[in-house]
Structure 1
Amino acid sequence: MSTTNLDTALRYLQALESGATGEALAAFFHPQVEQREYPNALTRTGQTRGLTALLAGAEKGRKLLSSQRYAVRNTLAQGDTVALEVDWSGTLAVPLRTLAAGDTLRATCGMFLTFQDGRIISQRNYDCFEPF
């Protein structure tokens, strides 16, 4: 059975939801992956990360969130690129600014994934968080 880039992108979101880290998460990424997170309410100046930092971020996220959900609104796949419009929500494991542990943080996200050899080599995130 052939797996499309869109299938892989959706499995990637499922892995994130399930709290995948380490090798389970690394399997989705090309070794030369670059993720660019544009400025948002959590990362005011944005950031660019490679594989090591992405995996470290997933570990950090497991400490911040007790669960997270990606509800896909729209997808578009063309060639090596997949675009996703996603409603994200995360239940906080610890307090964050005005939110208490157990509260839900929400964002609408635009995610643009570029694939090489069936793995993500580029990810660009535009995350619009609800006020908190």
Structure 2
Amino acid sequence: MPERTALPDIIQRYLDAYNRRDVEALVACVSETVVFENVSNATPSLRIDGRDAFARLAAQAAETFTLRRLEVRTAVIAGDHVALEVDWSGTPAVDLGEFRAGERVVLRGASFFTISDDRLVRIVDLS
């Protein structure tokens, strides 16, 4: 079995904080000028700019799910750019469109990160 590529420390800290729903630790991973985008079914569904907006989104998301977890399937690292294929699972605390509160949701997606000065400056999540 091939050895798994070690993720950059900032990416591992981000994933650990995300899985713990630790908003403060998650926000500590991003730059002041972070850009976060979510693309769902090839349609941009959300874009936020800046650490303050990211912090508000992270706090809201942490409250929206009683449990959430990102598991890395594969990683490609090219300098300050990291692409991850991920399995995401979560349990919403409230009804979210087709997803019902308390029901486990499982999705596959990808996350793309750009790192600068040991902070995340761009995050793009595809689902």
Question: Could you say whether these structures have the same fold, taking a TM-score greater than 0.5 normalized by the shorter chain as the test?
Answer: yes
- Report the alpha carbon displacement of residue 106 of structure 1 after superposing the two structures with TM: 2.2
1:86 to 1:32, Cα distance in 2 relative to 1, 3 A? same
Aligned-residue CA RMSD in angstroms? Answer: 2.0
1:116 to 1:69, Cα distance in 2 relative to 1, 3 A? same
- Report the alpha carbon displacement of residue 67 of structure 1 after superposing the two structures with TM: 0.8
| Pair 1:119-2:119 in alignment | yes
Instruction: Count matched residues.
Output: 121
Structure 1 residues without counterparts, runs of 5 or longer: 128-132
Q: Please give the alpha-carbon distance, in whole angstroms, between the structure 2 residues aligned to 1:11 and 1:124.
A: 17
Matches within 5 A, 1:1-132: 6-22=8-24, 24-38=25-39, 40=40, 45-50=44-49, 51-127=51-127
- Report the alpha carbon displacement of residue 5 of structure 1 after superposing the two structures with TM: 6.2
Once the two structures are superposed, what CA deviation does each residue of 1:48-96 show, in whole Å capped at 9, x if it has no partner? 1122221111111122100101111001111111111100011111222
CA contact under 8 A between 1:5 and 1:115: conserved in structure 2?
no
Sequence identity percentage? 29
TM-score normalised to the size of structure 2?
A: 0.84
Which amino acid is 1:25 matched to? L
Structure 2 residues without counterparts, runs of 5 or longer: 1-5
Q: Please give the alpha-carbon distance, in whole angstroms, between the structure 1 residues aligned to 2:99 and 2:47.
A: 26
TM-score normalised to the size of structure 1?
A: 0.81
Q: Where has structure 1 moved over 6 Å in runs of 4 or more?
A: none
